[in-house]
């Protein structure tokens, strides 16, 4: 068979033609035979079992029954009529019902002849019935081609309107399998097929569309899911190996004076075991000859900044500069102030560059960067401008990297002749499953313990009718000298409504917490940046005890004295947002609290979210639940949702298969990095074709 058979445009398949081809392209993105072959069914109707009438269940499932029609009658109803047939077998009787097409159906039905009927079973009183059943005379049914389980394909309104029904799609796939004569070259090695007891490719493709029984369907699904995830992992791992060989890094061989002095004299607290482990992993990376590309995950407050600083000191000890890039001005400023405070007794020059940096300061800053007098630059996107040139950038740290586009990040890499080492930091815990697929080409480090003295935040869920008690508790905390956040949801569609909610909330709080005894700050998206900063500043200095805000405060504000977080309409927030907000308190030594306020009407998902928040403080556990609730595309934000357009696998449900696939891809590339061995020829062929046609998702992190 022609090796390019599957590249044939779909219009050439018998029964398709140019008009249908246009609809298939527009609705399901199907252009070639291969695309149609990979349009996998959503579900299947089981035509392998035949039920007796006394075995029927009112489950709303599709069932198949053999019997005879013994009687037909027309029944008047409010609107029009219905045709009812009494259908019997040796165990009992039921009804078949038609609400339209009576004349034609009545003429075609044969009384007292054995039929196979198929359809969705419903129950009225004690009588079972199937409305508009599919019917076939028993002798014809026994002669016909037995598709035991009927595939149900993805569809859209336009497809149905164009006459491309499920039956038509099914016929197209049958035609394709017929024309291919079942020739689909194997894409995995013989050893792998034997070790994992996988069925051959051709058999898997046939049984995914037209399974002979449940067992073969399960084996076909496993085989194709494994293969899909295996090739994604092959790409990620080979990309990582290639980068380590090709991209030479800057070897940081010295652990010098700055690192040692800071470690011995200026560390504000004892490092946790997790921080020590991560610093060691990073030191090994930067000391080798390859460029480091590492993802550092750590929950809110786990001490990533100290780790970042110690890595920057390593760069400086080896004669290089470092930069730290954050997504917002608030966050960049906070990083800058935090680092400056830590370095107060050391001879290290650090500067801040954001959109608001004055022109005169910029000129000075550019000069200091170029002549090497400036050791550390902290900034926002402004760091990426072409004017910003380093003398020798050795380490680039990107905070909350999912907020930066790919093109922006690549600009950083070109700020030096040899690409700098890269450390990507995130406080959004990424479930292991997702990390293996999205960041499979990065090395991953995790800080999984909080610094000593940090008490976990106590989280409770309260209904609106308990508000008076909650306010009473607030007053007690404020008496102890603590501060409180009260956060309102922000939903883009209706800023007016959100603003109203916030102002109503603010007024009722002002009534319950009157001046001059209590001072309240308010921050929301419609304020001018200067006013926002002024209000934030008052709260940070402790001039106000209560901060009423929208989610503006989600990232970056650090007020150790704030011990209470009240989240209004908590059911309107996503899990990761709730977790990020809770991370704003619990930064001091005192016990902190997070109170989730809601009404009584809650969806199942909202209940799960609230229950998860009250039962755990572990960001990774929360991320796993979030992943199950929202799916992978959503979790990474819109700009990255296209990353995981898998055809059959699901990285949440098929987590075990993903781990198996990654293990086998690693083993294969370890033993045969260039896929030169004879037994790996099928893998090489498939991999080369996928890379050429870009059918594996080019993940870029």
Residue by residue, what is the 3-state secondary structure of 541-580? HCCCCEEEECHHHHCCCCCCCEEEEEECCHHHCCHHHHHH
Pairwise CA distance, residues 252 & 395, whole Å? 10
Reported as half-sphere exposure (CB side, CA atoms, 13 A), residue 534 has a value of 5
Contacts of 476 by beta carbon, 8 Å cutoff, 6+ apart: none
Note whether 458 and 594 are within 8 A (CB): yes
Say yes or no to pLDDT of 288 above 80.
Answer: yes
Note whether 520 and 509 are within 8 A (CB): yes
Let me know whether 300 and 277 are in one domain.
Answer: yes
Looking at 595, 616, 637, the residue that finishes a domain is 616
Note whether 429 and 622 are within 8 A (CB): yes
Q: What is the pLDDT of residue 402?
A: 56
Contacts of 396 by beta carbon, 8 Å cutoff, 6+ apart: 322, 323, 325, 412, 413, 415, 420, 421, 422, 423
Looking at 600, 616, 632, the residue that finishes a domain is 616
Is 380 inside a domain boundary? no
Let me know whether 190 and 128 are in one domain.
Answer: no
Neighbours of 525 (CB within 10 A): 15
Q: Which long-range contacts (CB under 8 A, 24 or more apart) does 71-78 make?
A: 71/111, 72/106, 72/109, 72/111, 74/102
User: Residue 444, Cα to own-chain centre: how many angstroms?
Assistant: 17
Let me know whether 536 and 512 are in one domain.
Answer: yes
Note whether 316 and 275 are within 8 A (CB): no
Q: What is the pLDDT of residue 289?
A: 80
Let me know whether 442 and 580 are in one domain.
Answer: no
Q: What is the pLDDT of residue 636?
A: 43
Supply φ then ψ for residue 60, to 5 degrees: 70, 10
Alpha helix stretches (DSSP H) within 89-196 = 102-108, 138-143, 157-161, 166-180, 190-195
Lowest-confidence segment of 110-124, 592-606, 684-698 by average pLDDT? 684-698
Let me know whether 297 and 423 are in one domain.
Answer: yes
Q: What is the pLDDT of residue 293?
A: 85
Note whether 285 and 292 are within 8 A (CB): yes
Residue that wins the pLDDT comparison between 400 and 249: 249
Looking at 596, 616, 636, the residue that finishes a domain is 616
Question: Which helix (H) or strand (E) covers residue 422, if one does?
Answer: strand 421-426
What is the domain extent for residue 598?
458-616
Let me know whether 298 and 220 are in one domain.
Answer: yes
Pairwise CA distance, residues 303 & 447, whole Å? 8
Let me know whether 476 and 608 are in one domain.
Answer: yes
Pairwise CA distance, residues 525 & 484, whole Å? 20
SS3 label, residue 182 = coil
Is 344 inside a domain boundary? no
Pairwise CA distance, residues 544 & 529, whole Å? 19
Note whether 312 and 420 are within 8 A (CB): no
SS3 label, residue 216 = helix
Alpha helix stretches (DSSP H) within 384-520 = 406-413, 432-438, 467-479, 495-512
Is 226 inside a domain boundary? yes
Q: Where are the beta strands (DSSP E) in 201-329?
A: 293-298, 321-325
Let me know whether 516 and 610 are in one domain.
Answer: yes
Is 338 inside a domain boundary? no
Instruction: Tell me the per-residue pLDDT of 125-162, one tens digit each, with 9 for 90 and over.
Output: 888 999 999 888 998 888 765 556 889 899 888 888 88
Residue in the block written with tokens 């790996």 = 680
Instruction: Tell me the per-residue pLDDT of 20-67, one tens digit each, with 9 for 90 and over.
Output: 999 999 999 899 999 999 999 988 887 778 899 988 877 667 888 999
| β-pair type (114-120, 134-137) | antiparallel
How many domains does the chain divide into?
Answer: 3
Is 335 inside a domain boundary? no
Neighbours of 8 (CB within 10 A): 16
Instruction: Tell me the per-residue pLDDT of 482-501, one tens digit each, with 9 for 90 and over.
Output: 999 999 886 544 556 666 67
Instruction: Tell me the per-residue pLDDT of 560-591, one tens digit each, with 9 for 90 and over.
Output: 888 999 999 999 888 888 988 898 888 777 89
How far are the Cα atoms of 47, 73, 138, 178, 414 from residue 113, in angstroms, in the given order?
21, 17, 8, 34, 79
CATH number reported for the structural domain that contains residue 75 in this entry: 2.40.50.140
Let me know whether 490 and 445 are in one domain.
Answer: no
Let me know whether 465 and 542 are in one domain.
Answer: yes
Note whether 343 and 378 are within 8 A (CB): no
Q: What is the pLDDT of residue 251?
A: 86
| β-pair type (81-89, 92-98) | antiparallel
Is 419 inside a domain boundary? yes
Say yes or no to pLDDT of 86 above 90.
Answer: yes
Which residue(s) pair with 131 in the sheet? 97
The chain-wide mean pLDDT, for the chain, equals 85
Let me know whether 433 and 543 are in one domain.
Answer: no
Say yes or no to pLDDT of 641 above 50.
Answer: no
CATH number reported for the structural domain that contains residue 592 in this entry: 3.40.50.300
Is 560 inside a domain boundary? yes
Neighbours of 452 (CB within 10 A): 9
CATH number reported for the structural domain that contains residue 307 in this entry: 3.40.50
b/e string for 341-366 if b means 16 or more Cβ within 10 A? ebbeebebebbbbbeebeeeeeeebb
Is 13 inside a domain boundary? no
Find, among 563, 554, 556, 558, the residue nearest to 589 by Cα: 563
Let me know whether 400 and 504 are in one domain.
Answer: no
pTM of whole model > 0.85?
no
Find, among 459, 487, 466, 455, the residue nearest to 610 by Cα: 459
């Amino acid at each position: 068979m022609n090796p390019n058979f599957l590249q044939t445009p779909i219009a050439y398949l018998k029964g398709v033609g140019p008009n249908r081809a246009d609809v298939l392209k527009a609705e399901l993105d199907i252009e070639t035979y291969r695309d149609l072959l990979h349009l996998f069914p959503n579900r299947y109707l089981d035509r392998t079992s035949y039920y007796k009438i006394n075995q029927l269940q009112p489950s709303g499932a599709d069932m198949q029954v053999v019997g005879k029609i013994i009687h037909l009658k027309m029944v008047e109803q409010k609107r029009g009529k219905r045709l009812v047939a009494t259908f019997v077998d040796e165990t009992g009787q039921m009804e078949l019902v038609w609400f339209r097409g009576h004349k034609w159906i009545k003429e075609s039905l044969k009384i007292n002849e054995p039929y196979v009927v198929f359809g969705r079973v419903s129950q009225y009183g004690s009588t079972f019935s199937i409305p508009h059943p599919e019917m076939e005379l028993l002798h014809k049914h026994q002669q016909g081609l037995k598709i035991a389980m009927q595939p149900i394909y993805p569809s859209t309104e336009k497809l149905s309107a164009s006459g491309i029904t499920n039956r038509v799609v099914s016929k197209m796939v049958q035609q394709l399998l017929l024309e291919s004569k079942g020739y689909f070259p194997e894409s995995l090695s013989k050893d792998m097929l034997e070790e994992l007891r996988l069925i051959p490719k051709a058999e898997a493709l046939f049984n995914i569309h037209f399974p002979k029984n449940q067992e073969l369907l399960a084996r076909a699904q496993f085989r194709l899911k494994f293969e899909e995830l295996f090739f994604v992992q092959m790409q990620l791992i080979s990309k990582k190996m290639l980068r380590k060989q090709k991209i030479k890094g800057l070897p940081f061989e010295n652990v010098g004076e700055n690192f040692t002095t800071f470690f011995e004299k200026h560390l504000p607290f004892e490092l946790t075991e997790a921080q020590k482990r991560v610093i060691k992993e990073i030191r090994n990376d930067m000391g080798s000859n390859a460029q480091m590309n590492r993802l550092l995950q750590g929950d809110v407050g786990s001490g990533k900044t100290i780790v970042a600083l110690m890595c920057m000191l390593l760069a400086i000890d080896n004669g290089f500069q470092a930069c730290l890039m954050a997504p917002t001005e608030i966050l960049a400023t906070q990083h800058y102030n935090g680092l400056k405070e830590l370095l107060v007794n050391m001879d290290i020059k650090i500067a801040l560059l954001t959109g608001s940096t004055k022109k005169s300061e910029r000129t000075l800053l550019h000069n200091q960067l170029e002549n090497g007098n400036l050791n550390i630059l902290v900034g926002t996107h402004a760091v990426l401008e072409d004017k910003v040139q380093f003398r020798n950038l050795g380490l680039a740290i990107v905070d909350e990297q999912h907020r930066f586009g790919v093109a922006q990040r690549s600009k950083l890499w070109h700020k030096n002749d040899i690409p700098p080492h890269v450390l990507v930091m995130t406080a959004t815990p990424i479930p292991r499953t997702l990390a293996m697929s999205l960041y499979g080409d990065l090395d991953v480090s995790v800080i999984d313990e909080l610094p000593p003295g940090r008490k976990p935040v106590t989280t409770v869920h309260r209904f609106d009718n308990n508000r008076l008690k909650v306010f009473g508790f607030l007053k007690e905390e404020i008496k102890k000298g603590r501060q409180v956040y009260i956060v309102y949801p922000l939903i883009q569609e209706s800023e007016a409504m959100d603003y109203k909610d916030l102002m109503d909330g603010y007024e009722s709080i002002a009534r319950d917490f009157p001046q001059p005894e209590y001072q309240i700050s308010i921050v929301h998206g419609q304020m001018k940046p200067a006013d926002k900063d002024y209000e934030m500043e008052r709260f940070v200095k402790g001039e106000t005890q209560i901060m009423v805000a929208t989610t503006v405060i989600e990232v970056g504000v650090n007020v150790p004295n704030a011990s209470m977080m009240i989240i209004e309409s908590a059911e309107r927030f996503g899990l990761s947002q709730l977790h990020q907000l809770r991370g704003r308190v619990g930064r001091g030594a005192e016990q902190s609290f997070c109170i989730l306020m809601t009404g009584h009407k809650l969806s199942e998902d909202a209940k799960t979210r609230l229950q998860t928040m009250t039962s755990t403080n572990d960001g990774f556990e929360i991320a796993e639940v979030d992943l199950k609730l929202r799916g992978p595309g959503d979790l990474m934000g819109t700009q990255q949702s296209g990353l995981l357009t898998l055809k059959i696998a699901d990285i949440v449900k098929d987590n075990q298969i993903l781990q198996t696939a990654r293990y086998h891809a690693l083993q294969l590339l370890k033993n045969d990095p260039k896929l030169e061995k004879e037994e790996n020829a099928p893998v090489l062929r498939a991999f080369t074709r996928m890379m050429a046609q870009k059918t594996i998702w080019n993940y870029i992190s």
